[in-house]
Structure 1
Amino acid sequence: MIEKIVKESEKGILIDIEVTTNAKKNEIGKINEWRKRIEIRIKEQPIEGKANKAIMKFLKGIFKSEILINSGTTSAQKTVLIPDKTKDDIVKILKKEIKSI
């Protein structure tokens, strides 16, 4: 399933995520198999881009790489772009981080 969520593009690696805001802590949840997205929980509220900034900062810490929101800036369902990692690198990191794997 994770291979369907992590995709290669000309610009880098794309990951489909679903964000829950106002969480108790920042964390990667499980894979939502129905939506084919990785659940991300963020403490920030979705006000004035605070949650998006928190997502990018949180994921940057996990992937040790620049993170850009490729689509879904005003939605809970987003696609993030990691320009300087390989798909294998990302899948390996996610397998360590995701709770349902």
Structure 2
Amino acid sequence: MLRECKEGTLLDIIVTPNAKKTEIVGRDEWRNRLEVKVKAPPVEGKANKEIIKFFSKLFGDVEIVAGEKSSKKTILIRKPLKEVEEILNSLI
């Protein structure tokens, strides 16, 4: 779910669009991904924009680096792995 890379930390997520609110639901241990619900629909990049906005509030500089057209995405967080782990552990 979390991997260190030279630019920061990679976070694997699985997204459910059209939710009542945007939130982290928990960890999907079977898929080894963070489960995220997004209020926006998966149309014209709206869900991706909401994901970026949501994770930017938590971590600062982020971008989707894989899965732009999939429910399974990888996000690059430009922070050290340890710092990302601490933030996520406080949320889940």
Instruction: Determine if the TM-score, normalized by the shorter chain, exceeds 0.5.
Output: yes
Matches within 5 A, 1:6-85: 6-63=2-59, 65-83=60-78, 85=79
The one-letter code of the counterpart of 2:83 is D
Where does structure 1 lack aligned partners over 5 or more consecutive residues? none
TM-score (norm 1): 0.88
Q: What's the Cα RMSD here?
A: 0.7
Q: Which runs of 4+ in 1 moved over 2 A?
A: none
Percent of aligned positions that are identical: 45
Where does structure 2 lack aligned partners over 5 or more consecutive residues? none
Aligned length: 92
Between Structure 1 and Structure 2, which shows a larger proportion of strand residues? Answer: 2
In 2, Cα distance between equivalents of 1:61 and 1:41: 16
TM-score (norm 2): 0.96
